[in-house]
């Protein structure tokens, strides 16, 4: 007859030296609960739940526990016994953890012992569980054996399955991010903004385009009437010589005109002479010579006598210089190369060009 120390976890009381029969009687009477802890008296063995000690709960037949139903027919306590051996190690752990938590309140050193020594006690129960589960363990083997024909692929698959499982695990990994992404898409404000974007794009923001269009309209309105062409006004040359000159049968020579006009001659090559003296075809030099001639002789009009084939740009240079110093412009009408000798006649408007 072994004696047991029983710790009433509900009352936090310790009862020492109880015999196994007293413990069983207490269990039957309800003074000792299944959750109470018990250990061999006078030892430092780890505490165990009363329900887990087969000697205390069911001395005659702890083995019949697997067939729980028939065992429960004998004693009223058997149903409790039948239920408790059944739990898997996982359940046992759960209950034990609960016990540890309860014990933490009062007996911390005992908890430490339990933690270290519980596995030693668990082993026999695991063996019991294995004794109960033998029907489970061989069954898959038996199934595998039975379905060899059909399950050759299955049997081969465990290897391939592991191989396949890796990709499937990866596929799960891929799937999970997708799910996360979708969640992110739904939760994130960015995607909601993107989804709100298309309607804006479909509408097209016309404000900027309209602004630019109006600026173009204003530009056209303002510049349409202000596009200016830079020009030089020239005196109107007469198409025909004056009738009186023709009637008199004479034309004025350049020497005659030089008394009234500053004579500027330009040959077909663009060489310029002022009052029969050559001058460099340069704007500054021409302006200086014309200014000097005007001051010396008080002539205020330039008579341009250019050859018919003189480049137009040379004539424009003379016009420009005359405008620079404020001279009036007269143009001698040149005669075409194949025509009769030059019949020069000053133009009618010796006013300042461009006025």
Partner 1 sequence: MLLRRDEDEERDEHIDMTPMVDVVFQLMTFMLFSSQMSGGELVDVPPARHGVGVESNAATFLTLLEPKVPGAEPQLLLGHGAGPPATLDQARRAVDQAVKEGIRKVILQADGDVPHGKVLEVAAAVSEVEGVTVHVGVQEEGAEP
Closest contact distance (angstroms) between CB of 288 and partner 1 is 15
Tokens at 128, concatenated: 């019991």
Which is closer to partner 1, CB of 83 or CB of 324?
324
Q: What is the closest distance, in whole angstroms, from the C-beta atom of residue 219 to partner 1 in the complex?
A: 7
Options 80-88, 138-146, 148-156, 222-230: segment touching partner 1 (CB under 8 A): 222-230
CA 234 to CA 349: how far, in whole Å? Answer: 9
Residues in 281-310 at the binding interface with partner 1, rule: CB under 8 A: 283, 306-310
> In degrees rounded to 5, what are phi and psi of residue 139?
-60, -45
| Least Cβ distance, residue 342 to partner 1 (angstroms) | 11
Which listed residue (193, 208, 222, 338) binds partner 1 by CB under 8 A?
208
How far apart are alpha carbons 103 and 113 in whole angstroms? 11
Q: Which 162-201 positions form the footprint of partner 1 (CB under 8 A)?
A: 177-178, 181, 184-185, 191, 194, 197-198, 201
Instruction: Kindly state the smallest distance separating residue 33's Cβ from partner 1, in Å.
Output: 58
Q: Which of 319, 327, 328, 344 binds partner 1 (CB under 8 A)?
A: 319
The H-or-E segment that residue 214 falls in is: helix 206-224
Q: How far is the CB of 304 from partner 1 (least distance, A)?
A: 9
- How many CB atoms are closer than 10 A to CB 311? 14
| Closest distance to partner 1 from the beta carbon of 182 (Å) | 9
CB atoms inside a 10 Å sphere around CB 15: 19
Q: Is 233 in the site for partner 1 (CB under 8 A)?
A: yes
Residues 270 and 281: beta-carbon distance below 8 Å:
yes
User: What pairs with residue 7 in β-bridges?
Assistant: 14, 37
Where does residue 324 rank: exposed (0-12), middle (13-18), buried (19+ CB within 10 A)?
middle
CA distance 23 to 285: 140
Residues contacting partner 1: total by CB under 8 A = 59
Query: Among all chains, which residue has been given the structure tokens 């306590």?
Result: 77
Cα–Cα distance list, 223 to 95, 213, 217, 218 (Å): 96, 15, 10, 8
Binding site for partner 1 (CB under 8 A): 177-178, 181, 184-185, 191, 194, 197-198, 201-202, 204-205, 208-209, 212-213, 216, 219-220, 223, 225-234, 236-239, 266, 283, 306-317, 319-320, 323-324, 331, 333-336, 354
């Amino acid at each position: 007859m072994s004696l047991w120390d029983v710790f009433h976890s509900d009352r936090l009381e310790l009862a020492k030296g109880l015999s196994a029969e007293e413990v069983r009687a207490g269990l039957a009477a309800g003074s000792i609960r299944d959750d109470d802890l018990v250990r061999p008296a006078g030892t430092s063995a780890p505490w165990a739940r009363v329900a887990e000690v087969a000697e205390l709960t069911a001395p005659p037949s702890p083995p019949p526990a697997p067939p729980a139903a028939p065992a429960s027919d004998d004693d009223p306590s058997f149903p409790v016994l039948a239920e408790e051996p059944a739990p898997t190690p996982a359940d046992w752990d759960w209950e034990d953890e609960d016990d540890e938590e309860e014990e933490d309140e009062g007996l911390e050193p005992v908890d430490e012992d339990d933690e270290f020594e519980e596995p030693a006690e668990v082993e026999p129960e695991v063996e019991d569980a294995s004794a109960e589960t033998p029907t489970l363990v061989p069954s898959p083997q038996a199934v595998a054996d039975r379905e060899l024909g059909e399950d050759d692929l299955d049997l081969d698959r465990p290897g391939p399955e592991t191989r396949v499982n890796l990709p499937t695990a990866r596929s799960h990994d891929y799937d999970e991010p997708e799910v996360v992404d979708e969640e992110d898409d739904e939760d994130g404000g960015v995607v909601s903004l993107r989804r709100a974007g298309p309607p804006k794009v479909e509408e097209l923001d016309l404000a900027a385009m309209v602004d630019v269009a109006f600026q173009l309209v204003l530009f056209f309105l303002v510049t349409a009437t202000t596009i200016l062409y830079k020009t030089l006004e020239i005196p109107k040359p007469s198409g025909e010589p004056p009738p009186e000159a023709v009637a008199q049968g004479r034309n004025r020579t350049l020497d005659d005109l030089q008394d009234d006009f500053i004579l500027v001659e330009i040959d077909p090559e663009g060489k310029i002479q002022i009052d029969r003296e050559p001058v460099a075809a340069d704007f500054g030099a021409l302006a200086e010579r014309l200014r000097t001639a005007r001051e010396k002789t008080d002539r205020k009009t330039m008579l341009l006598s250019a050859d018919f084939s003189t480049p137009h740009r040379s004539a424009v240079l003379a016009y420009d210089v005359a405008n620079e110093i404020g001279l009036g412009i007269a143009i001698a009408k040149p005669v075409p190369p194949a025509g009769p000798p030059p019949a020069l006649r000053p133009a009618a408007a010796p006013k300042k060009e461009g006025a």
